[in-house]
Amino acid sequence: MKKTLSFLLLIIVVLSACKKGGSTDPKDNKIKLEDLIGSYTFTEYVSENQGTILGVNTNSSKTPCMLNSIFTLNKDNTATSVYVGTEVCYLAYKSPSENTNIGPHEPERYIWKFVNNEVQLQLNNTALVHHYVVTRNDGLIQLTETSESPIRYMQVYTKK
């Protein structure tokens, strides 16, 4: 009887410790609207132009300036995108006449909403809407846009 009571007490202690460790419920990892509020840096860009894949990553020593592209989602459903660097940042080195680049500019202003795990951004005063799939990668929230035309590309912004 004493052994049975000790065994039951041990199981209760173990189960209690497991509960304190946190939930493994997948709903706990669900991204909520308030999780999206904040600033994001441009972390990856891959495009395909006439069958040639042009890949760029901010870890590249050639393009660290890409980190100067900041995207911000605000609580009031407005958003801004701005390149805060002082020099032109070349995203692809195909040929001087075909370089894709970003440079200093005034912030672009958007309105945004979160629908079905996707951030939808509409450039102010236009019908243009960008669709970003929201994911969590190694605990970081990422917004990924993929486009099929006129040039196929994928770009990723990661929350700071």
Q: Where exactly are the structural domains of the chain? A: 31-159
**Both structure tokens of 95:** 């040929």
Contacts 24+ apart (CB under 8 A), 60-64: 62/93, 63/89, 63/90, 63/91
Residue 26's pLDDT is what?
45
Residue 115's pLDDT is what?
94
**Both structure tokens of 3:** 């052994």
The C-alpha atoms of residue 9 and residue 128 are separated, in whole angstroms, by 63
The C-alpha atoms of residue 99 and residue 24 are separated, in whole angstroms, by 46
| Residues of the chain under the 50 pLDDT cut | 1-27, 93
The C-alpha atoms of residue 47 and residue 53 are separated, in whole angstroms, by 6
Does domain 31-159 bear CATH number 2.40.40.20? no
Burial of 22 (0-12, 13-18, 19+ CB in 10 A): exposed
Residue 154's pLDDT is what?
84
Residue 55's pLDDT is what?
57
